Amino acid sequence: MNAKLLGAVGMFAVAALLAGPAAADKTKIDFWFGNSGDIAKRVQEQCDRFNASQSDYQVVCTSQGSYDASLQNTIAAFRAGQQPTIAQVSDAGTLDIMLSGAYYPANKLMADMGYTVDWSDYFSGIRSYYATSKGDMYSFPFNSSTALLYWNKDAFAKIGKDHAPATWEEAAADFKALKAAGYSCPLGFNISRDEIWQYGEQFLAVHGEPIATKKNGYEGLDAELVFNKGKWVQFIKDLKGWYDNGEAVIKSKETGQTFVEAFAAGDCQVILTSVGDHGNIGRTAKEGMNWGVAMLPVYAGTERKSSFVGGASLWVLAGKSEAEYKAAAAFFNFIAKPEEALTWSTVTGYIPVRQSGYDYLVKNGFYEKAPYAGRELAIKSLTAATTEQGSLPGIRLGGLLQIRQEMSNGLQAIFIKNEDVQASLDEAAARGNQILRKFEQTYQGKTLP
């Protein structure tokens, strides 16, 4: 072996010795999330930014394909002692994991790891959904959204309107006028489980009406569903009337086009969907189409309340080492930075979860730019009124995904089978209450934190 080669081998060995301990010292943690498609890419990019920002920790981010899969896989992994350090859980699964006890509370984690967090910096409509009755944050709000009304300005101009409907009475007149003007789909909607969020839960929230007793379950596991009473019954009757008149059209994958796709194509003129769809619609909207967003309509005479946050939060699971918890805390500190809020909102459409993040976006003129204009209405909707002013804190019901399915089944009976509205909603509530009683029995003796 010649001298040059020996020298090269020697330098390689020295480099390996120097690099080896550094690599071994880097604490690696797993983060499982449920987002898929483009959002999954954006989550991975955020993980990459964190990993590149420091040399002590590495977060390995893995999509589980859906919120349901993320929760179920996390539960199975925990039972096997193979749980990730961080798991994303959708808003609907909050109570399930909160009562499991299998987590390290967010507020305690950050304090134990030496971070000072101003938890009041989180928007109240977001904070209350994930906090305990004492206001303690047990998880980190992550991809947060709320529902907005999307409207085609060009179509509305043809019926002499330059603004979106603020009330459902005004919306009814607009749908009728759009239909008379030759539009085949004034309102595009769907009645699947996933759409209960905007057409049911968000409707009830902005009207200040509960989906269940006990302050939507916040005051006890013995809550009972009451969505079959009040203004939602009238809304479903109105929606059914618009549907029968051809002024509202069901759009789904089964019909060949989702309502979001139909709006972006200019085929439907109004939809209700997440602010998280704002970016996607902006990228896919028919060329030259003028469109905007507005807060959800309310019935005339209603004092608007705050809408609910949607999306998911991040939970730190029990059973990990202090080094892994330090890594998790560092990751959370990183994603809370205002600069990250700007990047995250730019590439996803989700909203900043903290006032400081929102202020940073405003300072940088984010909402003045055409692709993002209107997204600030999501913040306005989430902060329309405080809980002291009558807004509900959120929904804290066990088996919420199953309850959404029963609500969807009730709507299927109404719209597809043409069954009576009140009777169908009463039956859906009864089936949902059976789910609540089973959940209550499972956690018998436990009190809500």
Per-residue model confidence as pLDDT tens digits over 278-314: 988 999 999 999 999 999 999 999 999 999 999 999 9
Sign of CA dihedral 216, 219, 223, 229: negative
Same-domain status, 7 and 93: yes
Does residue 384 sit within a domain? Answer: no
CA angle 360, 362, 367 (to 5 degrees): 130
* Phi and psi angles of residue 98, each rounded to the nearest 5 degrees, phi first: -60, -40
Average pLDDT over residues 67-79: 89
| Residue 129, domain CATH | 3.40.190.10
Q: What percent of the chain has pLDDT over 70?
A: 95
Name the residue with tokens 């959370």: 332
Q: Which residues contact 14 (CB under 8 A, 6 or more apart)?
A: none
Same-domain status, 181 and 164: yes
Does residue 385 sit within a domain? Answer: no
Residues 263-268: contacts with CB under 8 Å, at least 24 apart: 263/150, 263/152, 263/188, 263/291, 266/152, 266/154, 266/155, 267/184, 267/185, 267/188, 268/185, 268/186, 268/187, 268/188
* Phi and psi angles of residue 191, each rounded to the nearest 5 degrees, phi first: -125, 25
Q: Are the CB atoms for 403 and 225 separated by under 8 Å?
A: yes
Average pLDDT over residues 176-195: 97
pLDDT at residue 1 is higher than 80:
no
Does residue 373 sit within a domain? Answer: no
Locate 200 and state its tokens.
């049911």
Alpha helices in 131-220 (DSSP H): 153-158, 168-180, 196, 202-206, 213-216
Does residue 382 sit within a domain? Answer: no
Most confident of 119-133, 150-164, 376-390: 150-164
Same-domain status, 132 and 222: no
Same-domain status, 140 and 164: no
Same-domain status, 288 and 278: yes
Average pLDDT over residues 369-380: 94
CA-closest candidate to residue 269, choices 422, 161, 113: 161
pLDDT tier, 447 (very low <50, low <70, confident <90, very high otherwise):
confident
Same-domain status, 325 and 294: no
Confidence at residue 68, expressed as pLDDT on a 0 to 100 scale: 87
Q: Are the CB atoms for 247 and 226 separated by under 8 Å?
A: no
In our burial notation (b when 16+ CB lie closer than 10 A, e otherwise), range 393-414 reads bbbbbbbbbbbbbbbbbbbebb
Same-domain status, 152 and 292: yes
Same-domain status, 228 and 254: yes
Does residue 332 sit within a domain? Answer: yes
Q: Exposed, middle or buried: residue 137 (CB in 10 Å: 0-12, 13-18, 19+)?
A: buried
3-state DSSP assignment of residue 88: strand
Average pLDDT over residues 268-284: 94
Cα atoms in the 13 Å half-sphere on the side-chain side of 209: 20
Same-domain status, 80 and 24: yes
Same-domain status, 125 and 28: yes
Residues 213-216: contacts with CB under 8 Å, at least 24 apart: 215/392, 215/393, 216/392, 216/393, 216/394, 216/395, 216/396, 216/397
Same-domain status, 83 and 211: no
Does residue 390 sit within a domain? Answer: no
> How far from 237 is each of 95, 347, 377, CA to CA, in Å?
31, 38, 28
Average pLDDT over residues 100-124: 94
pLDDT tier, 5 (very low <50, low <70, confident <90, very high otherwise):
very low
Confidence at residue 24, expressed as pLDDT on a 0 to 100 scale: 57
Q: What percent of the chain has pLDDT over 90?
A: 81
3-state DSSP assignment of residue 429: helix
Number of domains in the chain: 2
Same-domain status, 33 and 100: yes
Length of the chain counted residue by residue? 449
Name the residue with tokens 């009473």: 229
Walk across the sheet containing 248-250 and list its strands.
Answer: 248-250, 187-189, 270-274, 147-152, 291-294
Does residue 380 sit within a domain? Answer: no
Q: What does the alpha-carbon distance between residue 448 and residue 200 come to, in Å, rounded to a whole number?
A: 25
* Phi and psi angles of residue 40, each rounded to the nearest 5 degrees, phi first: -60, -40
Range of the domain at 99: 3-145+309-368
Does residue 425 sit within a domain? Answer: yes
